[in-house]
């Protein structure tokens, strides 16, 4: 099967997944097929896992061109939609393993916030993890990945398309980190 055919098959299966459907306060209303949720402009749940190495560099990856939203964009977090029967933490662990091949790491929960963009309305939970092992990329979703300093990420977002939802998670994370440093000094 060609890469394009594999991506298309993965996209069709992904669009048919049962996703948690929530209201404006993140109360669970039920589940809907992912494509229906998106097409009807309803709210789902998403997870964002910022993966750092022990040197403090952030893993950024480029999304495949078959992704329904932000195709080909760079992403600062692994993650995805929370399925109907999952918690945010369960979804985060599943997505990190699926996309980057990272499992068995401690996930630290950081933030819970609402994000809205055309075609993308989500309650988001952000996590972080530290990993120095190899990355095993999911070819249907990830074209390439690399660890780079956060300062470089902040420069790249001015020059390359980056996913706005995961950028919101990263910016909130960095702001909280700066606030924690200020409190402790």
Domains in the chain, ordered, with CATH?
3-183 (3.90.79.10)
pTM exceeds 0.85: yes
Q: Is the dihedral of CA 168, 169, 170, 171 positive or negative?
A: positive
Pair 166, 76: CB distance under 8 Å: yes
Where is the binding site for Mg(2+), in residues? 95, 99
Q: Rounded CA gap, 103 and 7, in Å?
A: 23
* Window from 2-16, 61-75, 93-107, 130-144 with minimum mean pLDDT: 2-16
- Report pLDDT for 13: 58
Q: What percent of the chain has pLDDT over 90?
A: 76
pLDDT tier at 80 (50, 70, 90 boundaries)?
very high
> What are the backbone dihedrals phi and psi of residue 94, each rounded to the nearest 5 degrees, phi first?
-65, -45
The answer, yes or no, to whether residue 3 has pLDDT greater than 90, is: no
Q: Rounded CA gap, 101 and 104, in Å?
A: 10
Q: Rounded CA gap, 185 and 137, in Å?
A: 39
Interval 14-50: pLDDT, tens: 667 899 999 999 999 999 998 899 889 999 999 999 9
Q: Which residues contact 50 (CB under 8 A, 6 or more apart)?
A: 58, 59, 76, 77, 126, 127, 128, 129, 169, 170, 173
Q: Which residues contact 87 (CB under 8 A, 6 or more apart)?
A: none
Where is the binding site, in residues? 95, 99
- Report pLDDT for 100: 98
- Cα-based distances in Å from 105 to 48, 53, 76: 15, 12, 18
Interval 112-147: pLDDT, tens: 999 999 889 999 999 999 999 999 999 989 999 999
- Report pLDDT for 9: 62
The answer, yes or no, to whether residue 12 has pLDDT greater than 60, is: no
Interval 135-182: pLDDT, tens: 999 998 999 999 999 999 999 999 999 999 999 999 999 999 888 767
């Amino acid at each position: 099967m060609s890469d394009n055919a594999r991506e298309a098959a993965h996209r069709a299966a992904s669009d048919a997944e049962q996703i948690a459907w929530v209201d404006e306060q993140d109360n669970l209303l039920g589940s809907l097929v992912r494509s229906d949720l998106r097409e009807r402009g309803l709210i789902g749940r998403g997870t964002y896992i910022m993966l750092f190495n022990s040197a403090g560099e952030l893993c950024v990856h480029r999304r495949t061109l078959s992704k329904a939203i932000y195709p080909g964009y760079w992403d600062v977090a692994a993650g995805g939609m929370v399925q109907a029967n999952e918690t945010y933490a369960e979804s985060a662990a599943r997505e990190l393993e699926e996309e980057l091949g990272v499992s068995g790491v401690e996930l630290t929960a950081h933030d819970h916030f609402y994000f809205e963009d055309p075609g993308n309305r989500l309650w988001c939970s952000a996590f972080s993890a530290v990993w120095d092992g190899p990355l095993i990329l999911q070819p249907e979703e990830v074209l390439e990945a690399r660890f780079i300093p956060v300062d470089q990420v902040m420069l790249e977002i001015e020059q390359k398309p980056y996913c706005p939802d995961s950028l919101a998670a990263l910016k909130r994370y960095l702001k909280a980190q700066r606030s924690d440093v200020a409190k402790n000094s």
